[in-house]
Structure 1
Amino acid sequence: MKEKNFGKITLSNNQARVCVPVMGKTTEEVLQQLKSVVEMEPDIIEWRGDFFETDNNEGYLNVLKQMKDVNENIPVIFTIRTDSEGGNKKIGWNEYCDLCLFIAEKGKEFNVEFVDVEVFKDDKANELINSLHEKGMNVIGSNHHFDKTPDKEEMVKILSTIEKSGADVCKLAVMPRDKKDVEVLIEASKETDEKIKAPIITMSMGELGAVTRVIPKITKTSVTFAAGVSASAPGQPGIKVVRKLLQENKHCPLQGNIAIIGFMGTGKTTVSSALSKITGLKEIDVDAYIVEKAKMSISEIFEKYGEEYFRNLETESLREIANNKNQIISCGGGAVLKDENVDILKNSGTIVLLTATPETIFDRVKDHTHRPILNNDMSLSHVKSLMEKREPRYQSVADIKVNVDSNDRILTCYDMLCKLEEKG
């Protein structure tokens, strides 16, 4: 386990601390947001100073003094996120340095434990970091990519370079373009954690990357950012969601298998993947299992052998899968229409139904060509007709029901885990 103490807080690769931002433009807004955030009891507060409107450094100091009256003990990260890295302030290097050093000189007595430094903003960043250390201030060296996810080797290099600059904590935030980018960020985080001594903070932004904020056991991130009054980056879940998912990730109380069922387009595969990362349970996609077993696609099986053959193969596969425990099983849309399949799933764990409106389903599947039961009639009325036939069955076999119309897999996982916990 990697652990390092920073005054009022210890950062570890084994337990992520939760940080919530304050982003007010005026003194009144900052203090109002801060009061709300303090009541949320985060481990760390980030004051995004780039949103605060002032003409001089003394303006920041005046706010810090008043912040101390609202926040007595929670450590603060002071951050000026510049426009070049997705922030709200256009500022030259000399002015940037002056402000960071001014905060380092005065900030400690007002709970400022860290100053964030954009390491790649200037080639003299290491000199600024040294000067901040001389003033007794801890430094989070950061780098943000709001338009892409660099490849794994580049991300490992970025974090290693940040450590070499002298930063106490190394932070990297990237924007994913697809699921693969999220997986690459996770792999880069794990590799970097083994390579460098400093604690790391990593995240994949946006809704697609939101899962990286709640799987610290995998990414080894020492801090995860959650939205309080407002979010400071795309895909930032609320603090209640983050707290819940971190709790489940640390002490997963789930027993047996979790079978995810629902009509096509409810996101069974996507939700199963996210839940797997959050809980650490193995994910099994039944359709993918069948494809591997049969050495042909689902459409090809239907076309060559018919639906009855496919359903028998599905039952055989479910029986094989259910021999193992503590898995998340993503089932095909028709899996639970057969009593034998339901018995297999119920005997091995809990059945969770994902629900959505016909309009949501149609919007998600209308451009798909790999849905055998829709290929002859890709219309909203056909989707409604099929759902009306299947919905009573889904409802009758499900132990837990979770609506997915929001299309937010993190909130879906949160809702599911809460209901699983209530069920015991």
Structure 2
Amino acid sequence: MDTGSTAWMLASTALVCLMVPGLALFYGGMVAAKSVLNMIMMTFGSVALVGCIWVLYGYSASFGDSIGGAGLLGDVTEYLGLNGIMADDPKAVIPLSVFAAFQALFAALTAALICGAISDRIKFGAWMAFTGIWVTLVYLPVAHWVFAFDGKGVTGGWIVNKLGAIDFAGGTAVHINSGAAALAMILVLGKRIGWRKETKGGERPHNLPLVMLGAGLLWFGWFGFNGGSALTAGNAASVVVLNTFTATCSAMLGWLLVEKLRDGHSTTLGAASGAIAGLVAITPSCGAVSPVGALALGAIGGAVCALAVGLKYRFGYDDSLDVVGIHLVGGLTGTLLVGVLATSDAPNGVDGLLYGGGLSLLGKQAVGAFAVLLYSFAVTWIIAVVLDKTMGLRVRPEVEEGGIDVHLHAESAYDLLHAVPAESVRGTVSTTT
């Protein structure tokens, strides 16, 4: 065992785990005060459920030997219940147990990303049922396609091995996958009541400091998300961490510039969203580009995503927290730009179009990206329709308008009435009267 690499992977796993509350706060701050707890509950609930599925059969379906050698799905029985991964293998660089924990968080966060697109209107029980089915039918096969490398006597996924597309840390398996699924769910679930009306639709973020805190935690955790995907503590992880930081900085500036030119002002929400857009875009390409390439990729990703979030108003789909505009579009942007900006000097060691590599890599990136997009969208749409016809996805109109936190969870995020002495409340009322 390489103890240094093992320590790095343990630390990276902890960093990625911090992205769970980061995502919950990022999403929670962007919704109305009456639904912030539901947003947090959907995030943590999906993580808890996926963690259990991962132990039972998820890891095996993703990283087991490909069934029939087709590269479509891993052998579900090979590591059933994570059987056999606790043994100390002297030939391994890192223990399988830490790799399994690291990848469990990838699966959990991918599912959790979807809930931001459908806030304020889905039943909590229906969301949990959807999460379990979606991870099983969509995430696990796609993770096998993208993350399962061929090994000695082992056949992995078709995108990474047969196609040869580059996705260092999950631009396809995580971001395009969740973004396409979010779009399918939006179309089945429908718009919020009073959408685009500030007084009813709950479109205005209720707590921007919470959004910025969540974005900061996500940025911090993303160093483990991308850097840990190198699986060793060495030069590759170091380059990836540098590129991750660089692209995020330029993406934030790119988003803010678009805001300034389009709207006349740059916003706090735009800064947070731009940072996340940069993190999404650099995820597939962090091991393929130079630091200058990361700057360019981040700036392009931030600007493109800032423009893409407005598409929901043009085409009329209610993407509550811009999951489609940031994760689907940002994932596509970063994945495709690998074919343009990749350099053989980077850890992946492949040249893109601008470095004399021709169009071959760009073609591979496009095939991988759109294969995941189409599969995820189609299967998610079927899952959503079946659940809607059976158990029902949407809460009652009175629940949506009255506040989903109180009706579904019997709680309120801000108990302001009891936070102020009754005498003060009465005095304020009499004075203003």
> What range describes the TM-score normalised by the shorter chain of this pair?
under 0.3
Q: Which has the higher helix share?
A: 2
- TM-score using structure 1 length: 0.21
Q: Which has the higher contact order (CA 8 A, sep 6+)?
A: 2
Larger radius of gyration: 1
- TM-score using structure 2 length: 0.21
